[in-house]
Amino acid sequence: MILDEVDPESRAILEQHGFEAPVFERLRSALRDGSLAERGNVVRGVVEPPRPSDLTQLPAPGEPGLEEALAAGTEALRDGTIAMVVLAGGMATRFGGGVKAVAEAVDGRSFLDIKLRETERLGRNLGVEIPVALMTSFATDAVVREHVSERGLGRPLWFCQSAAPRLRPDGSVFVGADGKASLYGPGHGDVLFALRTSGTLAELERRGVRSIVVSNVDNLGARLDPVVVGMHVLAGTPLTVEVVAKGNDTGGAPARVDGRPQLLEAMRFPHGFDQSRIPVFNTNTSLIGVEALSGSVDLTWLVVEKSVEDQRVVQFERLYHELSAWVPTTFLVVPRHGATSRFLPVKEPADLAGVQPLLRKMLASPPAGL
């Protein structure tokens, strides 16, 4: 078994972080016999661009529908039915080797400081305490907890994504230069499962939460916005996915698979499919109803090949947006540019210079949607 093939320290991490050895062994066997490979990531069925009717525009100030959405979202927030979930996991390798959540984003404020303070500011304006939960990983948990405590960033709920060992293409465990198994977090699909297994979802439901807003810690434009919340409430779908106009981007996007709208990651599109035919792409910010979170969804395990220490490795990953293949989904087109942008991703330290002026304007303005 895989747990017998890793060093004691790595085994302890795996056992403490929800590693499902039997599932992993089935995936590894399929990798070895060739039935599971990157080519198998491609979705089956007829794939077409979304229709215009599949995309819903977020109303701008003065446009029809804005006041109704603002009223619905404000009511939902004041009733305590909305919670914020921030994804602060991963491997702490892409941002100068440190944990991005605690790195400075602008003017001495960290990414997590901004995400949590903006949620707190909105709640204060509405006269309500908005529940917050943080998903960390074995590589980020201790640092993030210490940061939240030191900066007095409230009392969020905590849950951890799972861990898994990287493999060589032949299915053997990849061992790093330190002599230990090379571990990773198997994708943000963990949010659906870790919320349930950690008891965090049950606690949110106990508090009266009916929907959660999920966003990356490094997308500081994705503030909790009553208008966005209202659009989700009024749509009545279990899942709302925020998308923005496409530039020279690569990534997931809404498409029709056998006539049904759903979100596909880039690797899942058929070879030769012209993704430029789709005018929008995924921001990894979504609103999910607890009924969709409570159900059992068998997300597809994807094969992802990466280079680690100049060697080819294989990872198995799941992505939570595949939930859109199971439940009706609203694809909400939100602003990409300007001070009202809901998409200000910072993947590398060099990206900060471009977003800091917008961040300053955003932080100087009233809470989003008010």
Could you read off the pLDDT of 107-125 as tens digits, one per residue?
999 999 999 999 999 999 9
Better-predicted residue by pLDDT, 10 or 294: 10
Helices and strands: H and E segment counts in the chain: 10, 17
- Predicted confidence band at 296 (pLDDT cuts at 50, 70, 90)? confident
Rounded Cα distance between 256 and 49, Å, is 6
Rounded Cα distance between 119 and 129, Å, is 9
Contact between 45 and 269 under an 8 Å Cβ cutoff? The reply is no
- Domain annotation covers residue 182: yes
CATH code, domain with 130: 3.90.550.10
- Domain annotation covers residue 342: yes
- For 20, the domain range is 2-364
Among 4-8, 247-251, 338-342, name the most confident range: 4-8
Angle at 196 between CA 266 and CA 316, to 5 degrees: 35
Answer yes or no: is pLDDT of 92 > 80.
no
The DSSP code for 59 is P
Sign of CA dihedral 173, 175, 181, 187: negative
Structural tokens at position 101: 């959540």
pLDDT at 344: 92
Share of the chain above pLDDT 90, in %: 86
pLDDT at 365: 87
- Domain annotation covers residue 221: yes
Q: Per 3-state DSSP, what percentage of the chain is helix, strand, and coil (rounded to 5)?
A: 35, 25, 40
State the helix-helix crossing angle for 111-126 and 141-150, rounded to 10 degrees.
Answer: 50
- Predicted confidence band at 93 (pLDDT cuts at 50, 70, 90)? low
- Domain annotation covers residue 287: yes
Contact between 118 and 223 under an 8 Å Cβ cutoff? The reply is yes
Contact between 354 and 220 under an 8 Å Cβ cutoff? The reply is no
**178-183 mean pLDDT:** 96
Rounded Cα distance between 327 and 292, Å, is 7
Contact between 237 and 327 under an 8 Å Cβ cutoff? The reply is yes
- Domain annotation covers residue 369: no
- Cα distances from 315 to residues 90, 169, 365, in angstroms, run 13, 10, 42
Contact between 111 and 147 under an 8 Å Cβ cutoff? The reply is no
Contact between 137 and 184 under an 8 Å Cβ cutoff? The reply is no
CA 194 to chain centre: 13
pLDDT at 94: 64
pLDDT at 95: 72
Domain count, the chain: 1
Gyration radius of the chain over CA positions: 20
- Domain annotation covers residue 370: no
Q: In this predicted structure, which of 86-95, 228-237, 304-313 has the lowest mean pLDDT? A: 86-95
Amino acid (1-letter code) at residue 239: L
pLDDT at 297: 83
- Domain annotation covers residue 290: yes
**232-241 mean pLDDT:** 98
